[in-house]
Structure 1
Amino acid sequence: MHRCRLVLSACLLFVLSCSPVAAQAAIGVAMDDFSYTDTSAEPTNQTAAHERRLAAFMAALRRDIDADQRYRLVPSAQDGAAFKVIGGIQKTSTLVQWAKVAVIDVGAKKLVMDKLYSFRGDNDESWERAEVFVSREVMAALGTPAPVALAVFDFELEDMTAASAGASAGSDASYLAEVTGGVREALSQSGRYRIVDVGTEAARAGALRDCGGCEASIAQKLGADQSLMGVVRRVSRTEYTLGFQVRDAGTGAVLARGDSGLRMGADYSWKRGAVRLVRDRLIDSQ
């Protein structure tokens, strides 16, 4: 009988830990849309552009907070919010925007963050960079490190075989795109990284594997904290190796790297191998 009670107790603890009640232990955070004021007195009406950029700014900020399982977004303090994030953005000229952001500890009824920022606001990229910075500050005020802004560049192919370069160029490009997409998805889903859009910046630099770490400076221009560059090395039609390295965007220092051993498999298995390598050597190792 005593043993049965222990088993039942253990089962009950397991069920409770997996129940929605346990999930609600995440700290509630409420966030209203930031206000927007234009005092630039410019003749051109840019209201539509401002509304679109502000909406994207708020969506990204909420996404950053919601990505961390220790927090959950709630409508208001009445719905269980422990913190409330408020703010407003003011346009004072063609280039200059000011953002006022505060984080309130609802229970203690006190400000844990109250800051004023200035940023360039005449294009989408500037707004995205401002959001990354504000997100980092807000997450720090909540007690959680903000996701690392990571520029994941397209994986490159280093073909060491004697095969004709043009024979499988189309399929190679398709499989490389799958590798890059799979790695970006795995890193984003980890909650530790925010993937920065690299656009066409890397294409202008040529092969990143031969540029001596130039991907770090490109990532810094894009507003990222770190860069990731990966290579698929084809040894034969059925053998390949994979490698990647992560650099600090500011200093260029290598922060992490991973290399697979010789693998058997065709090109359609590149994605599976790359995602596993990144999980083992970067995500899980942290």
Structure 2
Amino acid sequence: MRQAIFAGFAAVLPLFASADGIAIFPVKLLDTSKEARDQTAEHERRLNILAEILQSELDGAALIGKQAIAGCQPETTECLMLLARETEAERAVFVVVQKTSTLILQIFANLVDVETGELIASRDLNFRGDNDEAWRRAGRFLAEQMRDAGD
């Protein structure tokens, strides 16, 4: 099940990178917390924070915007990988955040070889706190994990 989720989300993180760079596709959110209050705006801001931290912390990284992936409907793995290849990046990062409760969130991240489509690294990280600072810390930690995995 988890692999199916990753495969589906792997097709959703686009960016424009240079050769030997990393394409960072838009970060996705799966909110299963069932909180009563609509937090769409806050979560959208935090997804952008996470993506921007990855871009700034990973050498040669570039963000693929949501508009760039609009042509991949449905967002299949094949379509997303083709988009990543068009950026001339060597690797692509796909990230999904799952919010399971008010305080508990989990990040699923895949680092993929753009040419072969092979998985280089997969990370499953938990973090606490649905606030900007918690997302920033999680983003810095994830960037470190992706850097170490890519070496």
- Give the TM-score category using the shorter length: 0.7 to 0.9
Q: Secondary structure at the match of 1:236?
A: coil
Q: Give the one of 257, 264, 268 matched to 2:128.
A: 264
Quick one: higher RCO (CA 8 Å, sep 6+), 1 or 2?
2
**d(CA) in 2 for partners of 1:245 and 1:157?**
15
For residue 195 of structure 1, report the CA deviation from its aligned partner. 2.1
Change (3 A) 1:275 1:203: farther
Q: Give the one of 242, 245, 256 matched to 2:107.
A: 242
**Counterpart in the other structure of 2:32:** 160
Tell me whether 1:202 sits opposite 2:74 in the alignment: no
Q: Give the one of 179, 203, 228 matched to 2:93.
A: 228
**Counterpart in the other structure of 2:81:** 216
Deviation per CA, 1:148-205, whole angstroms, max 9, x where unpaired?
A: 22111121101112235x81111111111011001110103xxxxx123524222443
Letter in 2 for 1:155: V
Deviation per CA, 1:46-79, whole angstroms, max 9, x where unpaired?
A: xxxxxxxxxxxxxxxxxxxxxxxxxxxxxxxxxx
Larger strand fraction of residues: 1
Identical pairs, percent: 18
C-alpha RMSD of matched pairs (Å): 2.5
**Counterpart in the other structure of 2:21:** 149
**d(CA) in 2 for partners of 1:176 and 1:255?**
23
Instruction: Please list, as runs of the form range in 1=range in 2, the aligned pairs for 1:1-286 lying within 5 A after superposition.
Output: 132=18, 148-163=20-35, 167-188=38-59, 194-199=60-65, 200-205=67-72, 211-212=76-77, 214-261=79-126, 263-268=127-132, 269-279=134-144, 281-285=145-149, 286=151
Gaps of 5+ in 1: 1-127, 134-147, 189-193
Deviation per CA, 1:209-238, whole angstroms, max 9, x where unpaired?
A: xx3464322110122211111111101111
For these two proteins, the number of residue pairs brought into alignment is 133
**d(CA) in 2 for partners of 1:197 and 1:239?**
26
Letter in 1 for 2:131: D
